[in-house]
Chains A and B, each alone.
Chain A
Amino acid sequence: MDFDFTFFALLMTNGVLIGLMYSLIALGFVLVYKATDAINFAQGEFVMMAGYLAVLGAFGVNFWLGLIVSVLGMAAFGFVLERVMLRPLIGRPVVAVIMATIGLAAVLRGIWPMLVGVDTYNITLPISDEPIELGPLLLQPVQLFGAGVALAFLAGFTWFFLKSRMGVAMRAVADNQQVAMAMGINVERYFALAWAMAGLVAALGGVVWSSMLGVDTHLALIGLKVFPVVILGGLDSIVGAIVGGLIIGVVESVAAGYLDPYVGGGTKDFAPYVLMILVLMFKPYGIFGKRKIERV
């Protein structure tokens, strides 16, 4: 068989664009784990909820209004969630938090169809849907937009953690809560901030993914992709989330492109997990993860 370079390049480009959008979703997970040591199994449901909020907020007319409603709504949701559900669990075994977020995921998946019905809603980005030609490649504007948003926010959060006073303080909280308290850092405030930021990131990811997949409960399945991404990159690393996202995106796209014709489809969904298991065997803390982390 001849090697079709254009086809390969197309798969790679697609993989990179999709991968960046995975990174954005994984970032929400990493933010919470980094600052509070909590593993959020409801990240996919956060994304779904963000999609619903964007649909409701737009009133079918104004995309930007929907985006604002979704971002503010999700940030507030994260903030309140920390107060009422997670703060009482501080100091409890990590399993308690895991069960609480799994429960939350189930509640969100149940409550939204109850409120707004089971139809699939669409979000239309205010950009043209004409594919953009780049040499022999045809790129979807939606994907470019999503990847652009993801890249901007990944860069923004990297700056936040490296340079800003609050970001550095949040790293301090993540590293050693007791010592952070002795520095006069209000640890609970940073927990709340981390959850609010996870909500905000889910809102951006939600709007971007909704515009490609539509909004219904299936959107929450995007959360399943978060696990191979963060396990590959390391649960507590932003760079890891980016690299992990890119790898998963590319593996998925290339596997689907070359294997699907032989096995009849579906490789896209299991290839990331095969890779995840391989990584767990050889690098149990992920590529960029710190040692000494709880396994789920």
Chain B
Amino acid sequence: MSVAAVSKSPLADGEIQLSVKGVSKRFGGVRAVDSIDLDVRKGEILSVIGPNGAGKTSLLNMISGFYQPDTGSVTFEGHNITNARPSQIATYGVARTFQNIALFRGMTVLDNLMLGRHVHMKAGVLSSFIYWGLAQKEEIRNRARVEEIIDFLKLQDLRKQPTGSLAYGLQKRVELGRALALDPKVLLLDEPMGGMNQDEKEDMARYILDVNEEWGVTVVLIEHDMGVVMDISDEVVVLEQGRRIAGGTPDAVQRNPEVIRAYLGTSKSKGAV
């Protein structure tokens, strides 16, 4: 694939920004996540892979506050966010996208991106009536940031389009843009290339790499396309049935017999990219 990983020193000794320790989650009798540890270093792209039902999305939901872990803890830049609310975690600088497209449908691309700026806009109803100018200034400043993201993702022509009318790949891109609008320190991406064709996947991989390299955003990626994962990741963690079975550089993970048995063996025979 054309999107080759730039040779960053893999598993560099960057400081640990996001730390998941011994986290478990049960749904009824099912252990969706079973005491998982995960350390995410500042500035890296870490991919979480595993078969369907391995607990990848559940893990992401616990990091972003949608699920409360039964045991274990999640720490982000010194904040214990184990039981924090999703909105609080977002204000700390953790943004996410969703597996199924989760744009606000009745709204335009611009509205969606401006909603991504919500945590950076403070003026309430009353204060915006009293200090009209203040709210206006805030609006202009945040709009400028959104325009940068629109340029970066090449969404210029779609500003005023209702998101429901966009092609699937574009909707995914707008969702990425909305998450970027938070100016996140960590970006959690849940299958950002799911359902995309090859060209769209390559575009998306390029954007993810650029976000990581140019803006220094740490990325935690869930993705099924092994080609993309191995190309762009600094570190890969493999889950199976809620447990962590391997982790390390893409090369190391690809050679791990446990991983080949559990996951790559079947996937490769189907002709992974």
Contacts and interface: CB of A to CB of B under 8 A. Distances in A.
A184 B96 contact: no
Contacts of A84: none
Contacts of B87: 181, 183-187
A180 B182 CA distance: 12
B105 interface: yes
Interface residues of A, number: 20
A165 interface: yes
Contacts of B139: 165
Give the 9 A-B residue pairs with the shortest CB-CB distance, closest first: A184-B90, A184-B119, A181-B86, A179-B102, A175-B104, A186-B87, A184-B91, A181-B87, A184-B87
Contact of B64 (A164, A171, A182, A185): A182
A183 B182 contact: yes
Interface residues of B, number: 32
A168 B96 contact: no
Contact of A168 (B85, B103, B111, B123): B111
B107 A182 contact: no
Given A183-B116, A185-B118, A171 B106 contact: yes
B176 to A, nearest CB: 13
B118 A178 contact: no
Contacts of A144: none
Interface of A: 160, 164-166, 168-169, 171-172, 175-176, 178-187
Interface string B121-145: 1011100100000010001000000
B115 A168 contact: yes
Interface in B173-222: 178, 182
B263 interface: no
A179 B178 CA distance: 11
27 contacts: A160-B125, A164-B125, A165-B114, A165-B128, A169-B115, A172-B104, A175-B104, A175-B105, A176-B104, A178-B98, A178-B102, A179-B102, A179-B103, A181-B66, A181-B85, A181-B86, A181-B87, A182-B86, A182-B96, A183-B87, A183-B116, A183-B178, A184-B91, A184-B118, A184-B119, A185-B115, A185-B118
Given A171-B104, A175-B105, A181-B87, A166 B119 contact: no
A166 B90 contact: no
